[in-house]
Amino acid sequence: MKKRLLVLLLSIFPFFLTGCWSYLGVDEITIVTGLAIDKDENENYKLTFEVIDLTKSNKETGIAVSQVTSNGETILEAVRDARRTSSSKLYFSHTQIIIVNSEIAQNEGLNAIMNFFIRDENVRETIKVVISGEENAASLLNAKGITNSIISYKMLEIIEDVEDSNLYSTEVQLYEIINILNGEGMELILPVFKKVQVEENEYVSLSGTAAFNKDKMHSFLTAEETKYLLFALDKVEGGVLNVNMEDESNLVIEIYKNKTKIDYEYKNDMLKFFLDINMQCLVREITNQKQKIDGEWIQQTEKLIEQFLKNEIEKSIKKIQEEGIYDILRFGNKIYKTEPKLWENLKKDWDKKFSTIEVEVNPKVIIKNTSFTK
C-alpha cells in the first residue's frame, strides 16, 4: 500500500515544476483525491471534494489539502458547479474514494449517482466506493489521518490493509459495482466508514459493511459479522482471529492460507449449500502461560478452531437469512454459473428461497507451527 501511495504522490510532483503541464497552469487544475455525496436542505446533491491545492504545495511543506463544495439537482450539475466555484478543471485521474451518504444509498440507490462517474472518461473504473456511517458523509473528510493527511488516501490504505490483516471488510471498485448490479443471483456489499475519537482527535475507521438489494442499501452488518461473511464469500486470504479457548483463555491465530470451496445439491426441490473451508494458520499468542504445547494440544486446538469457525460463520449466515437480507452470499450466482437452466427455474422467487436454504459449514484447520508470544 505504501508503494502504491508513493507512486500516486510522485505522479503529482510534475505539477510543482515550472512551466506547464498539458498546456495547463497550476492554477488551472484541481486534483480531486476523493469526494463525499450528501443532500442539502433543498434535497439537491451536495458534493464535497477533497482536493490537492497545487498553489500551496511544495517540496518544503509537502502536499496541501483543501475542500471544494458544490450543489446541483444532478451529480453532473453539481460537478459543473464545482468547476465554476474552483475556477479550474477538476482532475479525477487521482480520485481514489467516493463516499456515499447512507440515506441516499437507501432511498435513491446507487444507479442515480454512479451514472456520471461511469460515463466520465476522466474517472477511473478502479475508484473504491464506500458508505458513510456518519449522518453527513462529508464529515469523514474532516477527520485526521494518522499517517496520511489526505483522508481519501488514508481510507484507501485502511481498506487495502484490512484485506491482508483484519478481515473486517473488502474493497469494491466502481466497475465491480456495475458488474454485480447487472449480474445474476448476487447482491452488493460495500465497506462502511465512521469516525472514532482518539483523545482529542477524530480519525476514520472501518465499521462493517452495508448490504444491498439491487442498487439500494438494505441494512448494515457489524465488523464481526462481516468477518465471517467473508469466509462464506471466499474472500479471506490472511488475517488475525481471536479464538476463545475452553479454559476461558484467548488464542490468537494468524491465517497463513485459506480457501473456501462453495458447492450445492438440489434434490426433491430442496437446495443445500456446502462451505468447505480449508485453513492453515499460525499460533501467534496464547494467554494461558501454563499451557503445555504438544501434539495432543495441537490436535485439540485445531478441532476447537474448526468448531469456533463453524459456529461463527453459521451464526452470521443465519442472521442474514432471518433478517431478510438478500443474497449477499451470492449462492444464486453459483447456481447460475453451474446450471443456468436450473437458475431459470429458481430465480423468480429467489429472495424467498434464499432465506430458507440449508447451509452446512465444514472447516478444516491445520496449525502450521506453534510459535507464540505469552
pLDDT of residue 16: 47
Type of residue at 314 = E
Spatial distance between the Cα atoms of 258 and 261, rounded to a whole number of angstroms: 10
pTM (two decimals): 0.89
Q: How confident is the model at residue 200 (pLDDT cuts 50, 70, 90)?
A: confident
Q: What is the pLDDT of residues 55-92, one digit of tens each?
A: 666 666 667 788 999 999 999 999 999 988 776 788 89
pLDDT of residue 126: 93
Homologous superfamily of 229-374: Nutrient germinant receptor protein C, domain 3 (3.30.300.210)
Q: How many CB atoms lie within 10 A of CB 323?
A: 12
Q: How many CB atoms lie within 10 A of CB 344?
A: 12
Q: What is the pLDDT of residues 144-197, one digit of tens each?
A: 755 567 899 999 988 887 655 555 778 899 999 999 999 999 999 999 999 998
Mean pLDDT of the chain: 87
Per-domain boundaries in the chain: 1-221, 229-374
Q: How confident is the model at residue 248 (pLDDT cuts 50, 70, 90)?
A: confident
Instruction: Check whether 8 has a pLDDT greater than 60.
Output: no
179: cell is 458488474
> Any bridge partners for residue 48, and if so which?
36, 69
Instruction: Check whether 358 has a pLDDT greater than 60.
Output: yes
Provide the strand spans (E) within the chain.
Answer: 29-39, 45-52, 65-72, 89-91, 97-100, 128-132, 189-198, 201-213, 216-221, 239-244, 250-267, 270-286, 358-369
Q: What is the pLDDT of residues 312-344, one digit of tens each?
A: 999 999 999 999 899 999 999 999 999 999 999
Please give the angle made by the CA atoms of 75, 78 and 81, to the nearest 5 degrees: 155
pLDDT of residue 165: 56
